[in-house]
Structure 1
């Protein structure tokens, strides 16, 4: 699977919290969303914020494209994480570990890199 296929898969299964997602699909999704976010941040910083007349740094800084994109990918990213946990043989509710600062994120990354259940 390539990055474009992972993006299509993620958006095609926007509210699908059942089933499983393979390791490569999950990590391509993460890579694609991070790269798109970086491009949107650059666009916000150099084009959108100056065009709107808002500061690009400090307290009143604005990044409207980045915030909008983050909201759009929030649900499919959670769904993809739940399906990836299931694929690794873990219960989907462990996605809530992400609410614990740093430690929860590190534990989730450990679970996400585990091989699929049943593949040896």
Structure 2
């Protein structure tokens, strides 16, 4: 996957792709950014937990950089279920909406066949040009021994 494909997705992605290429990296980056902010003294875990202060500049920057990828991956994951990207707005409802969106994108299986957003992600070709089977030898020629 190239850099721009992480930010702008089209079509559909399956659960495995969503977890391994979006949710896990964004989660790890968020934790590392929080640790960096705490180590640099920009914020403390106690003040964040009690709501006294906001997040530090590193967490804010990582969050802003990850937002387009998060929206793009959520939309394409919802497309895999045959749902519109407008369903992402349910995540704005505190707690209930965020849990619902996590279940929809991370745990429920997508449509088995094609839908209005394209073919299923598993229908993509899995064999490259070097993995194609060798053609059968012509009947009038001996097999290649090289």
TM-score, scaled to structure 1: 0.74
Change (3 A) 1:14 1:62: closer
What SS does structure 1 have at the residue aligned with 2:11?
A: coil
Alignment match, 1:25: 17
**Which consecutive unaligned segments of at least 5 residues does structure 1 have?**
none
Structure with bigger gyration radius = 2
Residues 1:114 and 2:108 aligned together: yes
Q: Do the aligned partners of 2:8 and 2:69 also contact (CA within 8 Å) in 1?
A: yes
User: Once the two structures are superposed, what CA deviation does each residue of 1:1-45 show, in whole Å capped at 9, x if it has no partner?
Assistant: xxxx6xx56x524134x3112111111211111111111111111
Further displaced range: 81-90 or 56-65: 56-65
Question: What's the CA shift for 1:90?
Answer: 1.6
**Which consecutive unaligned segments of at least 5 residues does structure 2 have?**
114-146
Give the superposed CA RMSD: 2.2
TM-score, scaled to structure 2: 0.63
Q: Aligned residue pairs: how many?
A: 106
Residues 1:84 and 2:82 aligned together: no
CA distance in 1, matches of 2:109, 2:72: 18
| Greater percentage in helix | 1
CA distance in 1, matches of 2:82, 2:68: 21
